[in-house]
Structure 1
Amino acid sequence: MLLPVILAGGSGSRLWPLSRQLNPKQFLRLTHKSLSMLQQTIGRLEGADVALPQVICNEQHRFLVAEQLRQLGMEQASILLEPMGRNTAPAIALAACKALDESRDPILLVLAADHLIEDVPAFHASLAVALPLAEAGKLVTFGITPTSAHTGYGYIEQGEAVGEGGYAVKRFVEKPDAATAADYVARGDHYWNSGMFMFRASRYLDALARLQPAILTACRAALAAGSQDQLFTRVDEALFAACPDDSIDYAVMEKTSDAIMVPLQAGWSDIGSWSALWEASEKTDGGNVLQGDVLQLDTRDTYVNADSRLVATVGVQDLIIVETKDAVLVAHKDQVQQVKGIVDQLKRDGRHEHLNHREVYRPWGMYDAIDSGHRYQVKRITVKPGAKLSVQMHHHRAEHWIVVSGTAKVTNGEQTYLVSENQSTYIPIGQVHALENPGVIALELIEVQSGSYLGEDDIVRFEDKYGRA
């Protein structure tokens, strides 16, 4: 039985403004109407002989992962938290160490949470080819049969045949220029580097101990000094911060003589840019991908995503147009790799649009920051049935709550009472308070904040059922 290890880190900055630092692309519904990229990754394992997945994610994303696993009925799946990113070699080392602590040296299937695979049977067939190679102690990577001379991917050069359907890795190649990529495709012995792997946990750790021992030492120490919080496995932040930052390709796969490549031809894409998403999406007769409330005239080969309002296009071609509640991106398809530069500029300017959307998800539900101005802010808050916000207080703001639907159980200082539809309550500055939904339907309310400072860091938590500091 395979143990899927799902790498769900990363910020997906090239898909801004849909992908944000606190809600990146792996948690978005980009290629499916009802499933996120992470959920699709897990879903395509159905029918294979696999255990519950182990998901590795950033501490900031833990509740997003937990909720998306819950939606799949996988509440008992393991979630391993990284306090900061240290690239793929340490992440997989943590997973391998944890797997060895809990079971008899399983074979790991390492997958990225944000890849698209359209042909699931072909994917399963490649897994079947890779399994006996991994059981024999090989470190297997999956090479994507190229469909174009793509310059955005690294390549793997095929060596001699090994076993039934595998090939020795002759070398890994960095992202080539256009002429080199065309030559690779014409030769037929180069494959795109997918970043997916299969190997026994102990075999990977043995290779790491020989090739990059500092990574293994740091990961073992960080995991041993960590803690278990419900389904979350936390590693020691200081010890993990000392771990070298390195990818599995550089740390192990390029240096070992046991690297084996198994070809995969299954409609794969890493959805690494807006143009890649346009290529992978269903198009109209004019080559357009239109999502949301979109009107077009004389528009061709264009991607339009309208999140919150009508978007109309006239006489344009080869554009990417993405509208959200707080940002609009317009880019030529040939320049979408430069979107990351916009994100970098937002960071330099001290803005917030790279961090999160206007809608922010919390373990208890979500809020939408509807409006803000001098000394006031308005939010629409949704609290899930049975959920409760932390017992908290604010030094700089008061809050007015107006219930739109459902019933709120309010703790306001020493008082606890119910607030129903069309009723309201007031929380003074400095008052200890809490909000809970005791009902069976979602609680919707409008919160009006007023005060000298309205930042999210003006929260002093006294008690929290979700373990937040």
Structure 2
Amino acid sequence: MIDVSRSQPHRWALVLAAGDGSRLRALTTQPCGTPVPKQYCSLNGGPSLLEDALTRARSQVAGDRVCAIVAQQHHRWWSNVDTLTSLPQPNLIVQPRNRGTAVGILYSLVHILSQDPDAQVLMLPSDHYVAQEAVLQRSLAAAMEHVVRCPDRPVLLGLHPEEPDSELGYVIPGAADNFGGRTVARFVEKPELTMAAQIVRAGGLWNTFIIAASARALLNLFLPRFSSIVMEMQVIVGNALQQRTASGWPAIVDMYTRLPDLDFSRDVLEGRESMLSVLPVPACGWSDLGTPHRVGETLRKLPGERGASRAALSGYINLAAQHAHFERSMSGASL
């Protein structure tokens, strides 16, 4: 762990943990039929993916500046994660329903800016597996230094691909910037495999959805297209935070019923390439575990016997055991 509480007083981390993980429901559904969001699952019977992300966050920022956004409908899971419930009360950000990644990020930014108008934020998804954490952590630190040198230019972490993958998004880097990164030429979302292979050969990077930026720079990405949503969010959330009581929650719930579903990559980042940088990251055994196939590939790369034979542990569904069951059922269905 690093001590940044004094030297970097405005560094924050935001762990994104409000997703439903619908693409992996075949692997993460309990025997009773209840689907468990994948961030609350363990790949090998140890800590959940969410707990790994919180540890990742604490490697870069002070513990009292780690935030997480969670979903109200997932209360039964996040209320039992000690590393979440032990966060300072303002840092556990609960949204009443899922309105897409863009709305969740905006909602979180408004919360963080209410505590620190000069906040610099490291945004971390909660459903990633990383085999070589030290490699990724060095890149996370470099990304935060990039923000110090260029606070108005958000930087994405783009991973050197281990192989072409048609289920991942790609960042096409442009020219070198003046701060150790590259400009962003364009995004390519889930290309066909032949196109993905061409992108990899041309130097394209996997989009990890890990972003470092000043909170203000991230907020500015929503403007001017979503300025009315930004203003409404600032007013309603600001009033709720000032009251510091449950009385502000109904206004937030009402606001969420009226908000559109917005995707951060598609609706916010695309078209803003000139405002962004990308930092290439060495291969580190990263996976977003987005499909059963990628779960299986990740399990096959785990060392030793960790994997498909282990059962659920500490209240989490073991993705390894579930994947083994899924593979058997699919094999039987195909006969």
| 2:206 alignment partner, SS class | strand
How many Å apart are 1:269 and its aligned residue? 0.5
1:163 aligns with 2:190: no
Aligned in 2, Cα 1:304/1:91: closer, same or farther, shift over 3 Å?
closer
Equivalent residue for 2:216? 202
Equivalent residue for 1:41? 53
Equivalent residue for 1:76? 88
CA distance in 1: counterparts of 2:161 and 2:78, whole angstroms: 31
Question: What is the aligned counterpart of 1:65 among 52, 75, 78?
Answer: 78
Question: What is the aligned counterpart of 1:120 among 118, 133, 136?
Answer: 133
How many Å apart are 1:191 and its aligned residue? 0.7
TM-score normalised by L of structure 1: 0.58
| 1:159 alignment partner, SS class | strand
Equivalent residue for 2:292? 274
| 2:325 alignment partner, SS class | strand
Equivalent residue for 1:177? 192
Runs of 4+ in 1 over 4 A off after TM superposition: 227-230, 232-235, 282-285, 303-307
Question: What is the aligned counterpart of 1:147 among 149, 162, 171?
Answer: 162
1:29 aligns with 2:29: no
Structure 2 counterpart of 1:330, one-letter code: S
CA distance in 2: counterparts of 1:23 and 1:209, whole angstroms: 35
Structure 2 counterpart of 1:112, one-letter code: P
Structure 2: 5+ residue stretches without partners: 1-7, 312-317
Q: Would you say the 8 A contact 1:218–1:240 is kept in 2?
A: no
| 2:167 alignment partner, SS class | coil
Q: Would you say the 8 A contact 2:38–2:127 is kept in 1?
A: yes
Aligned in 2, Cα 1:211/1:304: closer, same or farther, shift over 3 Å?
closer
| 2:279 alignment partner, SS class | strand
1:220 aligns with 2:212: no
Q: Would you say the 8 A contact 2:27–2:292 is kept in 1?
A: no
Q: Would you say the 8 A contact 1:29–1:35 is kept in 2?
A: yes
CA distance in 2: counterparts of 1:283 and 1:171, whole angstroms: 31
Once the two structures are superposed, the pairs formed by residues 240-259 of structure 1 within 5 Å of their partners are 240-256=256-272, 257-259=274-276
Deviations 1:272-312 (A, max 9, x none): 12221121125699x9953237xxxxxxxxx99557xxxxx
Equivalent residue for 1:331? 330
Structure 2 counterpart of 1:208, one-letter code: F
Equivalent residue for 2:21? 12
How many Å apart are 1:12 and its aligned residue? 1.7
Aligned in 2, Cα 1:25/1:115: closer, same or farther, shift over 3 Å?
same
Structure 1: 5+ residue stretches without partners: 294-302, 308-319, 336-469
Once the two structures are superposed, the pairs formed by residues 70-469 of structure 1 within 5 Å of their partners are 70-71=82-83, 74-76=86-88, 78-135=91-148, 136=150, 137-187=152-202, 189-226=203-240, 228=244, 236-256=252-272, 257-265=274-282, 266-282=284-300, 289-292=307-310, 306=321, 321-322=324-325, 330-331=329-330
Q: Would you say the 8 A contact 1:212–1:251 is kept in 2?
A: no
Aligned in 2, Cα 1:283/1:22: closer, same or farther, shift over 3 Å?
closer
Deviations 1:321-362 (A, max 9, x none): 427xxxx97225xx9xxxxxxxxxxxxxxxxxxxxxxxxxxx
Structure 1 counterpart of 2:262, one-letter code: D
Q: Would you say the 8 A contact 1:80–1:233 is kept in 2?
A: no
Give the paired residue count.
Answer: 304
How many Å apart are 1:46 and its aligned residue? 4.0
Q: Would you say the 8 A contact 1:158–1:167 is kept in 2?
A: yes
Structure 1 counterpart of 2:279, one-letter code: V
How many Å apart are 1:250 and its aligned residue? 2.5
Where relative contact order (Cα < 8 A, 6+ residues apart) is larger, the structure is: 2
CA distance in 1: counterparts of 2:35 and 2:237, whole angstroms: 24
Structure 2 counterpart of 1:211, one-letter code: R
Q: Would you say the 8 A contact 1:107–1:134 is kept in 2?
A: yes
Which has more strand, going by share of residues? 1
Which has more helix, going by share of residues? 2
Q: Would you say the 8 A contact 2:110–2:234 is kept in 1?
A: yes
CA distance in 2: counterparts of 1:330 and 1:107, whole angstroms: 47
Structure 2 counterpart of 1:117, one-letter code: V
Aligned in 2, Cα 1:108/1:11: closer, same or farther, shift over 3 Å?
same
TM-score normalised by L of structure 2: 0.80
CA distance in 1: counterparts of 2:216 and 2:157, whole angstroms: 20
How much is the aligned-residue C-alpha RMSD, in angstroms?
3.1
Structure 2 counterpart of 1:48, one-letter code: Q
How many Å apart are 1:17 and its aligned residue? 3.9
How many Å apart are 1:195 and its aligned residue? 1.2
CA distance in 2: counterparts of 1:153 and 1:134, whole angstroms: 26
1:3 aligns with 2:12: yes
Aligned in 2, Cα 1:240/1:73: closer, same or farther, shift over 3 Å?
closer
Q: Would you say the 8 A contact 1:80–1:234 is kept in 2?
A: no
Structure 2 counterpart of 1:153, one-letter code: L
Q: Give the greater-gyration-radius structure (CA).
A: 1
Q: Percent identity?
A: 24
How many Å apart are 1:194 and its aligned residue? 1.1
| 1:57 alignment partner, SS class | strand
Structure 1 counterpart of 2:141, one-letter code: A
